[in-house]
Amino acid sequence: MAQQIPLDPNARADDPQRDDARDDGTHEVAADLAYQRLAIVNVAFYGVPGAGDRAWVLIDAGLPRTAGRIAQAAQERFGPGARPAAIVMTHGHFDHVGVLEELAERWDAPVYAHELERPYLDGSAAYPPPDPTVGGGLMAVLSPLYPRGPVNVAARLRTLPADGSVPQMPGWRWIHTPGHAPGHVSLWREADKTLVVGDAFVTTAQESVYAAATQRPEIHGPPMYFTPDWQSAKTSVERLAALEPEIAVTGHGRAMRGPEMRAALHALARDFDRVAVPDHGRYVLHPATAQDGSAYAPAKKP
């Protein structure tokens, strides 16, 4: 059974008092980076407060029916009517693309993703089935009910640049971190060693409804029920740990920082097979990959 690596809540990257004083619905981890918790998942906002129209970037697009909350936080953080210069996707799972189509159209914003993730975002392919047998809690048990896509933002979809740069985010680079999804990426800023991780690793036990609700900080591998390639997931965690990040904003759980977070991340990388990989499951011995095409299921007709 996969295990948790506990974290001291004091290692959180945001400051609750400052967040309350600012009152824009986000948790700020740097002068130009904040995240918003939407039930079980986070979205991130890059850009300085008050930046105005087309001067900020949305990272991921939350759950269905959260467009109003995301737009309200954006308005309060960047100014009335402020639209993003781009929407950058770490990957296309349902809890990250919930209102992508709606917001991309509302804001007429380009959407950037890794080339291997494009089929899930242009209407041509769905993810392989989730695995409810991995254990860990009710979220895993219910996973067959979760949407597998695809969404279709083909008209606005762009491929992330091959040189590793992130459009409209100077100083940032994207890192291919597959495993949880074939085209999963994490975002890295070397200047202050900040990571926006997506689901390459998370800081809550996402398989458990209770843990997802309480947000007790623990470092885990990617959500087990939606991870089809465990060897690639391990390699991705090892690559991120080697960066020695100071701040990590994850797709699920609180953003964490400092030496304790780094030590826990190294422990996850070192012991990944024991603490992150489920004891059994359909993808443990038989991964679904982009290389053999098994990561792309036929898209259902509307």
Domains of the chain: 5-289 (3.60.15.10)
Q: How far apart are the first and last CA of the chain?
A: 38
**d(Cα 235, Cα 258) in Å, to the nearest integer?**
22
pLDDT tens digit sequence for 94-139: 999 999 999 999 999 999 999 999 999 999 999 999 999 998 888 8
Q: pLDDT digit string (tens) for 169-178?
A: 999 999 999 9
Instruction: Report the candidate in 207, 162, 201, 161 with the shortest Cα–Cα distance to residue 184.
Output: 201
Q: Determine the pLDDT at residue 211.
A: 58
pLDDT tens for the chain, 302 residues: list them: 566 688 888 899 999 999 998 888 899 999 999 999 999 999 999 999 999 999 999 999 999 999 999 999 999 999 999 999 999 999 999 999 999 999 999 999 999 999 999 999 999 999 999 999 998 888 888 888 888 889 999 999 999 999 999 999 999 999 999 999 999 999 999 999 999 999 999 999 776 665 566 667 899 999 999 999 999 999 999 999 999 999 999 999 999 999 999 999 999 999 999 999 999 999 999 999 999 999 999 997 65
CA distance 184 to 175: 9
The widest CA-to-CA distance across the chain, in whole angstroms, is 51
**What's the confidence (pLDDT) of residue 196?**
98
Q: What is the pLDDT of residue 142?
A: 85
**Residue (of 116, 136, 144, 141) closest to 208 by Cα position:** 136
Whether this model's pTM surpasses 0.75 = yes
The pLDDT of residue 2 is 60
